Every structure is written in C-alpha cells, then in structure tokens.
Amino acid sequence: MPEPVRPPTARTVPALLAEMASRDPSRIALVDRTRRWTYEQLNRDTRRVAAALAARGIEHGDRVGILAGNCGEWVIGYFAAMHLGAVAVGLNTWSTAHELAYQLAHAEVKMLLVEPRFRDSDFLALLNEARALGDGLPALHDVVTFGKVVPEYTDFATWLAPPEAELSDRLSKPVAPDDVACLLYTSGSTALPKGVPLLHHGLIENMWEIGERQRLVADDRLWLAVSLFWSLACVNALFAVVTHGGTVVLQHHFDAGDALELISSERCTVFYGTPNMALALAEHPRLSGTDISSLRTGVTIGTAAQVRRIAELGVDEICNVYGLTEAYGNSTVTDARMPLDRRVETVGTALAGVEVRIADPDTGAILPHGTAGEIVLRGRVTPGYWNDSERTAEAMTTDGAFRTGDLGMLDDEGCLYYRGRLKEMVKTGGINVAPAEVEEVLSAHPAVELAFVTGLPDPRLDEMLAAVIVIRDGARADPESLAAHCRETLAAYKTPRQFRFVTASELPLTSTGKLQRKRLAELFA
C-alpha cells in the first residue's frame, strides 16, 4: 500500500513548487510528449521564466494571458506568472476574434503567451483580428510565442536557456496567500462571459481536499486532455495532482485513439474527463486491444449511466463531483471508496472548508434536508467577479456565500444530489453556454425578429443547443445560414445544432405574456 502524502504547508504557488521540489526533486512532475520535467526541473524552469517576465516589466497584479493547447509551456508560463504575484489568464482556444478581444480587453492583459498555430487555428491572425475589434488592445504590450519561432516576437524557448535567475530582487511585492493567482472566464446568465479570479491559497487548499477524496498518492499519473484553460484542468486536475506530488501527463488536444495510446504507454492512473470523452474512448475500435488497466481513480460529472460507463472503462474509483469555476472547481466530491451504486447517484459531501446550503431561491431561507432548493456555497469561493460589482452583488449573499443558481438536495448524511439548473445555462459536452449570449448573436441577423435558445437531450453531449426563431415579415433564413452567422462570432460549441422556425403566436407564454423557457423544448417534439 503506498504511503499517504503529507499535506503541503505552502499557501502560495511558488512556495508549493519549491516545497514539492525539496520533497522529491527527481520525481517526474510533468510529461509533454517526449519532454519530461522532474519537480526540481519544473521549479527551476518556472523561476527562469518568472525572471524573464519580470525583466520584460511584468509586476505584481499584472495580467499574463495564455492562448495555447495543452503543452509544457502553458503550465510553466502559468506557474511563472503566479511566481511574480501576476495574474495568469487562461484564454479559450475555441474563441472567435470577438470573444478573444473581449477577454483581453476586460482583463487588461499586459503580456500574451501564445502558440502560433493550434490544430486548424492561426492564433496570430486571430490576435490581429482581435486588436482591430478591440481598439488596438492598448493594455497588451508584449507577445511571446512558443512551439514555433516567429521573427517579430520573442521566443519562449530562449527564456529556458540561461541559468536560473535570482527572483528576490525582481519582485515588486511578495506573493501572499490572498493574492489573485488566476483569472478564468466562464459563461453567465447574460451575454458577456464573467471573469472569475481565484486566490493562491484556495488553489492549494481546495485541490488538496479533492485529491484526498480521490485517494491520490505520489505514484499517481494524471491523463490530462481536458483543455488547460478550463478550471477542471488548470485549477482542479493540475493542483490536485501537484499538491500530492504526482505526475501530470499532457495530451495536446483530445483524440480518443491517441488518448488510449497515451494512457497505456504512460500507465496513467487518474482519469479527468467529460462524459462525451469517455463515450469516445468506450466506442473506439482500438479499445479492446489497448491496455488501460492502470486507470484507477479520477473525477467526472454526469448522469448515473455516464459515471457507470467510466467505471466500466476500468476507473473503478471514479469520483462524482459538483462544482463550478467560482468555487475552485469542486465543492462536493464522492469518496473513491464509496460503493459505486452510491457514487453514481450523489455528488458527495462538502469538502473541508466548504459549507453547502440548500436555500429557497426567492427568500434565501435555509431549507431542511430532503427538500430541493438553490445550492448556496460558503467558504472557498471567488471573492467576486472581475471588474463587475453588479454581478458580484447578484451572486453573493450578505454573509459572503455564493448563490450558484443550481438546484440540489441534501440528505441526512450531508450528501448532495444535483437536480438541475435554476439558471438558464445549457451544458453541452461538459461546457456551460449562456443562452443569452447565443440569442444576442442570432438576434443581430437581419432576418431574425426573435431568438430563444434552449437545450435538448443528446446522448453524446448531454444537451445540444437548439434555437427557436421568429423570422421578420418578408425575410428568409434557413438553419445553415443562421449556423454560419453564429460561427462568425461564437465558438463552434456555442452554435445551435437544431433550429425551429415558429410564429410569435406559437411561443409558449404565461398568462401575463412572459416566455416559458422551460417549455421551449416542447417545440422540437
């Protein structure tokens, strides 16, 4: 039986890396294809890049954006920004120029670390489009590339070549546990995404607890194909493993066949993935001939059938979870040793340091066990939305608890049961999409009078986006043209897959004339 891991004493990211490097300097911390970093090497390279960032004028509180696939440079740049007390901003690799311009401007990103090309995307061309849309993005002073040398930009690889630099004389202010470590963007109930700041100590404390529920040990090896800009990856998975001294094995982007080969060759033990990723693995023709028996534990979210499917892949101790970016990834997690029949039904009990309440969504009154209501979280939650006092006030109670907008129920043992969303969010392929954001784009089409977006059940995606459209008098439009219109502004996963054209009189309305959103799906029956 492996020795249990001591919890880290560090409460900042630089201190955490130094502590893990001192505990076991030769243990492999990070794998990116043929490249490997021990904890000592990861700490050394992170410090080198931090010194280079400081030399380029990055100081405490500045924002450093990262736009790339899953690679070692992403992780090192992320940690390096935090070493200076700067704020690492994870940027969505599926962003359109419009979405990228908004995030870079809203966060006032001072430096961008970017992979010039990722799959079919030319990120430098996308950046130029974003500059044109964002009045030049005046806050963005510096662009650094990796993966390919681009003559007009600094090459990230040159920062890894010199000897390790002393950082103490470069720090404008010491890094503190309550400093903002990262800023992530998440869809909200309005058209614009929300910036969610997370603090150093929360990244360590909450993820240590999540790792403990998974029964992680230093010998564990994480397969990480979930995009690093999502909190499931760069907050939850990364820090759950690093706080336990384990190994992170990166997959540049998800491909089921490549994933099977990587899990097998690297003997990965920890599964982090969405239900649609698990389905792709389960249906892949090479599964039967590939040894993925090393898989043991991990994290997912989904229906009982979806969680069982992951267990059937061999992840016997898969943990069902509830959480959101605003609450450091997860707030409740099932114990890996809980019987599977229980693990597929409940999303577990609250982590240490987290309080889960079930409240009446209208009055805020605390409801008794066994009664469904709004899930409200207290403890490890974001201090508030970035530069958005109005939405912070809407989300926070007077005692600092966070209103999730989700529906749930607690049993007498404190286990949480997720019952859906009070808000109108659609979760497609494990990603939250705000209907208001898609509706705003559809309504800008010259042929569209009204647009309403909902989710429809889908065996692969959980929910697919579907749009109900009222066409202007005398105008014409078809699903193909509306989908193309959406793709000009929105990421591909935000584009509706089904369209239903109706007259205004066919819309489901209440007696007072308000739209009954819950009945929109009936129009597709």
DSSP code string of 79-111: HHHHHTT-EEEE--TT--HHHHHHHHHHHTEEE
165 pLDDT exceeds 90?
A: no
Q: Is the pLDDT of residue 189 over 60?
A: no
Q: What does the angle CA 226 – CA 67 – CA 262 come to, to the nearest 5 degrees?
A: 35
| Residue recorded with tokens 């509830």 | 322
Q: pLDDT tens digits for 213-271?
A: 999 999 999 999 999 999 999 999 999 999 999 999 999 999 999 999 999 999 999 99
Question: Which has more pLDDT, 361 or 482?
Answer: 482
Instruction: Summarize the confidence of residues 4-12 as an average pLDDT.
Output: 94
Q: Among candidates 23, 30, 26, which has minimal Cα distance to 5? A: 23
Q: What is the pLDDT of residue 512?
A: 47
**Range with the largest mean pLDDT of 242-251, 270-279, 305-314:** 242-251
Question: Residue 135 pLDDT more than 80?
Answer: yes
What pLDDT band is residue 516 in, cutting at 50, 70 and 90?
Answer: confident
- Give 166's DSSP letter: P
- pLDDT at position 1 is 64
Higher pLDDT, residue 12 or 513 = 12
Which pLDDT value is given to residue 518?
83
Strand partners, 118: 121
Q: Which residue has the tokens 């050394």?
A: 44
Query: How far is residue 310's CA from residue 273's CA, in Å, rounded to a whole number?
Result: 9
Query: Strand, coil or helix: what is 375?
Result: strand
Please say if the pLDDT value at position 168 is more than 70.
no
Region 397-426: mean pLDDT is 89
- Phi first, then psi, for residue 434 (nearest 5°) are -85, 120
d(CA 285, CA 150): 39
CA separation for the pair 136, 174 (Å, rounded): 32
- In eight-state DSSP terms, residue 233 is I
Mean pLDDT of 141-151: 93
Give the CA distances from residue 450 to residues 274, 439, 470, 497, 515, in Å, rounded to whole numbers and listed in that order: 33, 8, 5, 18, 12
Vertex 235: Cα angle to 221 and 59 (nearest 5): 120
- Per residue in 489-507, pLDDT (tens digit) is 999 999 999 999 999 889 9
* Mean per-residue pLDDT, 296-319: 92
Residue 300 scores a pLDDT above 70: yes
Cβ proximity of 338 and 316 under 8 Å: no
Q: Is the pLDDT of residue 514 over 80?
A: no
Least confident of 170-174, 325-329, 373-377, 478-482: 170-174
Q: What is the tens place of the pLDDT at every residue in 369-401?
A: 999 899 999 999 999 999 999 999 999 999 999
pLDDT of 519 higher than 70: yes
What is the structure's pLDDT at 164?
A: 62
Domains of the chain, first to last: 12-175 (3.40.50.980), 426-524 (3.30.300.30)
| C-alpha dist (Å) from residue 133 to 99, 103, 121, 129, 444 | 10, 12, 18, 6, 17
Angstrom distances, CA of residue 251 to CA of 30, 254, 458, 518: 11, 7, 26, 38
Q: How many CB atoms lie within 10 A of CB 215?
A: 17
pLDDT surpassing 70 at residue 190: no
The residues facing 299 across adjacent strands are 272, 319
Q: How far is CA 141 from CA 62, 108, 138, 313, in A?
A: 11, 10, 7, 47
309 pLDDT higher than 80: yes
* Locus of tokens 């389905």: 279
Q: What is the pLDDT of residue 358?
A: 97
> Residue 204 — very low, low, confident or very high, per pLDDT cuts 50/70/90?
very high
